[in-house]
Amino acid sequence: MVLDYFWNIVFFILTISLLITVHECGHFLAARFFGVKVEKFSIGFGPIVWSWQANKDSTEYIISIIPLGGYVKLLDKSSISSDSESYHTRNDSFHSKDSWKRGIIIAMGPIFNIIFSIILYTLVFMIGVPVYKPIINYIFPNSIVEKINIPVGSEIKSINGIKTVDWESVRLNILHNINKEKIVISTICVNNDEIYEKSYVIPLSINWLDKSIIKTQDPIIALGVLPCIFRATLNASEIKLHPVSEQDTLQINDKILLINKLPIYNWQSLIQIVKNNSGQSCQLVVERDKHLLYLNVVLIDNYEVDSGKFLKNINFFLAPDIVCKSIKPVIRTDELFTAILKACNKTIDLFIFTVNALFQLVSGNVRITNLHGPIAIAQGAGKSIHSGINYYLMFLAVVSINLGLINLFPIPILDGGQLCFLLIEKIKGSPLSKKIQNFSYIISFAILILIMVLTTYNDITR
């Protein structure tokens, strides 16, 4: 468990450092292109760990001890002595450039994050991604979907007219329509060798995601659907568990659906869930006699996993006692040009989805408790790298898009705020006073700290 935390922190630092480097490279290269002198290029804040400078007139490259940020220091008039002969003649300072050039230099950081996401998704599509058809394997009793009688085994072909080729596209389409009063799901079902298509209208209430009988942030599961990737049915003569109470005893033939709100996709995900929660209280969602039960159990510390079997007092359930129904994914690979087009479309879709999610947050359709912070990013980095390089690249792309978008917020300490200052300068004919700018920096810094504390609190409570 301690080792898992350690690697999560390591991959979190690597992820943030890489994305910040990409972001600052955007500012750096744009400044160089427009002839602005770059005095410092720093990854991280605080005490300097390493620095290099070819000569006193060149850029100083710095790595600092706190890898949660970075900056590019451009030559400014304030850096030049007013007594210097070059004070009025130098044209390599940031403020000596036209406002449109300064705007491009500022905007190029977020733009580089978006471009980096396209590059990452291009690699993902060329390497190949496992695609699971969105076939409904299980429907939770008394759930939203169960009430409209969609047959188990149906394949979801579209949501509100948008084609769905895998579970990820299903998830994104549901989230795109999270504030709608209803969604229309079109399916294909096979019955007695006869294939037929049917559409179902699913009514949605306000904040339906938070009101779901299944306590999860996954919209597919919240609707009451378990993806057809893996199904585990307990059928054991002996179950070794540590129930928190007598009411939390797992029984033979209970269907284990979720562990700590996570579906069991395959043996690898099951092993990872057990490892991550060893020695801790876990909540199991099981079906017993067509009723959902929430059981609290503790997985003890001693475990060993070998060839898909839990051995040596895992105190969970054993591989021979599990009846598995599994569907193998189709691995799709694309040529370079096709991969680039798909990567562009994927990045645009995620960017629009993120913007829409922020509007839903502001409008109150999504609760602020759904915001994720640094702990969630660290956990995501660790889990994705353990799942494979492709999954880590996809995780990196998503975080890169979010970083680029967040930096466009009209907050003075961010790039978006600096663009607002430029716009005001263009309209007003002169820049805002230093006093107003400095005050706005203090306020915006306080806002960012508040958001950081809130998201960290959300991560901890989860």
Supply the residues annotated as catalytic: 24
- Cβ atoms of 125 and 133 within 8 Å: the answer is no
Q: What are phi and psi for residue 2, nearest 5 degrees? A: -65, -40
Sheet with 182-191: list strands edge to edge: 162-163, 155-159, 182-191, 194-203
Of 293, 316, 291, 286, the residue nearest 303 (C-alpha): 316
Structure tokens at 116: 């980096």
DSSP 25-88: HHHHHHHHHTT--EEEEEEEEEEEEEEEESSTTSPEEEEEEEEEEEEEEEP-GGGS-TTSTTTT
Q: How many CA atoms lie within 13 A of 454 on its CB side?
A: 11
The four Cα atoms 151, 152, 156, 157 give a dihedral, to 10 degrees, of -60
The pairs formed by 443-447 with CB atoms below 8 angstroms and a separation of 24 or more are 443/412, 444/411, 444/412, 444/413, 444/414, 444/417, 445/413, 447/411
DSSP 296-347: EEEB-S--EEETTEEESS--S--GGGEEEEE-PPEEE---HHHHHHHHHHHH
Residue 376 C-alpha from the chain's centroid? 9
Residue 410 C-alpha from the chain's centroid? 22
- Residues 229 and 329: their CA atoms lie apart, in Å, by 8
- Cβ atoms of 59 and 74 within 8 Å: the answer is no
CB burial of 172-210 (b: ≥16 within 10 Å; e: otherwise) equals: bbbbbbbbeeebebbbebeeeeeeeeeeeebebeeebbe
Q: Which DSSP symbol is given to 150?
A: P
Hey, is 364 helix, strand or coil? coil
- Residues 109 and 2: their CA atoms lie apart, in Å, by 36
- Residues 230 and 252: their CA atoms lie apart, in Å, by 19
Residue 246 C-alpha from the chain's centroid? 38
